[in-house]
Structure 1
């Protein structure tokens, strides 16, 4: 089973798509965008969640990297 929060591979134009429980939350250009998406989804301790591999799966590239692929 995959993590409920997925930060997908960087796009060709930069940024990463973020899905929360299978729903697209948006395109993140940095960690602060991801934190905002998580807060909107009701996860208020979002800053601490980004490196929790049981909750967040970083796909296709280094974690915290948003530059164009």
Structure 2
């Protein structure tokens, strides 16, 4: 795999982070639970350990697991 299939983008000004998979917008996450639900819907069962596995999830901008605007 050359890049993580899921990307959690930088926090937005109003809070939350856009989540994409292979360029398709999956939705807006306000918590790790939201990201886990997007993973589940994409068929990636594996729980919270996937959130910190760079082979599956790429966190862009800001800190991982942080959803509030800077």
Segments of structure 2 that go 5 or more residues without pairing to the other structure are none
Is 1:34 aligned to residue 35 of structure 2? yes
In structure 1, what is the Cα distance between the partners aligned to 2:60 and 2:53?
14
Q: 2: distance between equivalents of 1:26 and 1:62?
A: 19
Distance, in Å, in 2 between the alignment partners of 1:53 and 1:68 is 23
Partner SS for 1:35: helix
Q: How many aligned residue pairs are there?
A: 69
Alignment RMSD: 1.1
Unaligned runs of 5+ in 1: none
Cα distance in 2 for partners of 1:4, 1:43 equals 10
How many angstroms does 1:45 deviate by? Answer: 1.0
- Between stretches 9-18 and 44-53, larger displacement belongs to 44-53
Q: So what's the TM-score if we normalise by structure 2? A: 0.90
Question: Using the alignment, how far apart are the partners of 1:43 and 1:3 within structure 2?
Answer: 12
Task: For residue 52 of structure 2, give the secondary structure of its aligned residue in structure 1.
Answer: coil
